[in-house]
Amino acid sequence: AGVAFSGGGIVGHVPAINTQLVDTTGAGDALAAAAIFGLLRGDTLKNAARLGVAAAALTLQQPGSVAPQLSACLLDEALER
């Protein structure tokens, strides 16, 4: 589980984060949005994928489709781990 990525001659995988599952609604959207956010601000493809996985994990922990605490700062903290 996780996300595979490929681009610019780079191929890789970011494993899923072990997290408490409350609701799967919106996790894929959160992954895509955070990865696109990372790419638009100039992150590497791997870091963008890591942002996406972190956003999906946070979303899985919440009821409903949006994790209200999700922010760029919170995602950046996930990259530091």
Q: What is the mean pLDDT of the chain?
A: 93
- Evaluate if residue 46 carries a pLDDT over 90: yes
- Confidence at residue 69, expressed as pLDDT on a 0 to 100 scale: 86
Q: How many residues are listed for the chain in this entry?
A: 81
Q: Is pLDDT larger for residue 1 or for residue 39?
A: 39
Measured distance CA(67)–CA(4) in Å, rounded: 23
Q: Is pLDDT larger for residue 11 or for residue 68?
A: 11
